[in-house]
Chain A
């Protein structure tokens, strides 16, 4: 790994030309069909949900979805989900469990949407319920963090059997700007904060929080996304093969152990 500064990676993670869910899905999944709504309140476009087939096998996709331009981003809230988004994800996850198909989650969010409606409709409850549901969901779940994994809003789609990050993705408790403003009351010290936060894919791998890092093209994504697509496909093929052959109890025991071992022990 090149000895890049954390802040360089934060900036790379925020490049507008990074692959988004809507760029990747057509290459990863055949016959993708979008499915909408949480059946209670509405449809949150920050979460792109649906199903299709991966190399012949049915699969459910739950993808935090940033837009490619301002207009798309406005309707998708820059990938920041509302409670109805988490509830849509849970509905489709339970459907996947019922029909015994695996789930691919794509994480790409600065965090859950901070808004009046989001709080009124129970953002905290929706995230908590999602964390709990995925912990015992009886089907394989694989998650790839594309750019930013911000706070509980990202974690809600990160309880899985295999968790990967792209090379320049970050995962953090809050943004480096937010961190700096709390710590020093000075947002402009975000670069300094990023170093302290240990939020890069390399940091998370070292802490055994993720299962692997997906390399990015050395020249950046201007050169296209085929390499990254091929690598995600390889991982998916491999994981679906091994996870799919496990007994349900073994799958769930391993998933529990994966999260149980995180952090210091008493």
Chain B
């Protein structure tokens, strides 16, 4: 890219920061509705919440995000081109009540599955991007989630794009049994090839990242970021408490706990995530 273009782009982004598109006049009724922070009970208007990347200004509690909300806080406007959008787990498994659960999750999230994948830009840097939604059956990984993630990794490998995945998952999806378990091997194998091809991979661990997702693609980033206080771990707290017969500390399996023990590179407040990712991506530009 030529330097002039870069200067102009920087100026434009400065402009956009100084004059945000949402002005006082365009506040809607929904914007004015008040949300209580579940962590500190601080009242926040929906407008402020949107403007603050869904983080409580009082206690920095990070509200769970849907894919659209996440995109609006993270990527350059209108840059996200979704891939495999219609891929759907419906009717691939006869587990009792499973289709009803899927329908419900689809209605709730507007997604067909627990991950959205695509090509996007962050601060002008083109990336392959995966975003998981914890509200979709706990963000669990079934066959379609595993397949979409694997396809995304393969696209990133082929197009030599950096890969960014935001994880939010309770683990492998039990309704799809052992086939969902093996998605851990499938996604990890694709990442091994991406790695050998010199690909750059960032994971952002968000609340919660546990079980089979933490023990596969979530922990395989070249750089691993985490949102504050996110629950991150392999085994469930109750299972561990039952095994060792003692109560675990409150801080157990939080992002801070992992940072202290060396399993996370940085904890990044959501309002700074876009900037941090942009910097990291720029430092890993591939020389053509």
Q: Name A residues whose Cβ lies closer than 8 Å to a Cβ of B.
A: 112-116, 118-125, 127-129, 131-133, 135-136, 151-152, 155-156, 158-159, 171-174, 178-179, 182-183, 196-199, 203-204, 207, 209, 255-256, 259-260, 262-266
Are B185 and A158 in contact, with the CB atoms below 8 A?
yes
Dominant secondary structure of chain A at its interface with chain B? helix
Interchain CA distance A197-B172 in the complex, whole Å:
13
Q: Cβ of B172: which chain A residues have Cβ within 8 Å of it?
A: 151-152, 173
Q: Cβ of B219: which chain A residues have Cβ within 8 Å of it?
A: 122, 124-125, 128-129
A150: nearest chain-B partner, CB-CB: B181
Query: Chain A CB within 10 Å — which of B184, B234, B261 has the most?
Result: B234
B160 within 8 Å of A by Cβ? no
Are B214 and A262 in contact, with the CB atoms below 8 A?
no
Interchain CA distance A255-B186 in the complex, whole Å:
10
B113: nearest chain-A partner, CB-CB: A266
Contact of A262 with B186 at beta-carbon distance under 8 Å, contacts A114-B243, A118-B235 already known: yes
Query: How many B residues are at the interface, by size bracket?
Result: 35 or more
- Sorted from nearest, which 4 A-B pairs have the closest CB atoms? A263-B143, A114-B235, A131-B188, A135-B189
Cβ distance B266 to chain A, nearest Cβ, rounded Å:
16
Q: Cβ of B3: which chain A residues have Cβ within 8 Å of it?
A: none
6 pairs from A and B in contact (CB 8 Å cutoff): A122-B261, A127-B184, A131-B216, A155-B182, A198-B178, A260-B189
Q: Cβ of B150: which chain A residues have Cβ within 8 Å of it?
A: 260
B114 within 8 Å of A by Cβ? no
Are B195 and A132 in contact, with the CB atoms below 8 A?
yes
B146 within 8 Å of A by Cβ? yes
Are B151 and A152 in contact, with the CB atoms below 8 A?
no
Contact digits for B149-189, partner A, Cβ 8 Å, 1 yes 0 no: 01100000000000000000000101011111111111011
Are B182 and A209 in contact, with the CB atoms below 8 A?
yes
B215 within 8 Å of A by Cβ? yes
Interchain CA distance A115-B146 in the complex, whole Å:
27
Q: Cβ of A260: which chain B residues have Cβ within 8 Å of it?
A: 150, 186, 189-190
B116 within 8 Å of A by Cβ? no
Are A135 and B177 in contact, with the CB atoms below 8 A?
no
Cβ distance B93 to chain A, nearest Cβ, rounded Å:
9
Interchain CA distance A173-B211 in the complex, whole Å:
10
